[in-house]
Amino acid sequence: MIKRMSLLRRKSGLTEEEFDRHWRDIHGPLVAELPGLRHYTQNSPIGKVEGPAQIPVADANVQVDGITELYFDSFEAMEAAYTSEQGKLCLDDGELFIGSATTFTVTERIIKDF
């Protein structure tokens, strides 16, 4: 299983509410229909960690309006999803509200589960 994670920044001129509404109500249902998608999570930042729990990072002031997690069985399944017609719809829709994205494909190492 692999996971595709993206740090999203909203398109210039959109409010946080407009970005979130489009992401949740329009883009989310499109992504949910990607072939081979096993799990999809939208994470909305609610604040920055401060105090003793803060871990210093290179650019702690970077704007992040959303973080996505998409799970696929393999890298090939992910590629097939994004080259499908549904994948093209998702990418085209993303251009309407996403200003930029930093995307990683990762394998997950679970240290503790519920």
| Span 72-80, average pLDDT | 97
45 — pLDDT class (breaks 50, 70, 90): confident
Residue length of the chain: 114
Q: Torsion angle of alpha carbons 63, 111, 4, 36, nearest 10°?
A: -150
Encode pLDDT of 49-64 as tens digits. Answer: 666 666 655 555 678 9
The whole-number average pLDDT for the span 64-80 is 96
Catalogue all structural domains in the chain, each as residue range(s) with its CATH number. Answer: 2-46+64-106 (3.30.70.100)
pLDDT tens digits along 7-30 = 999 999 999 999 999 999 999 999
pTM, to two decimals? 0.85
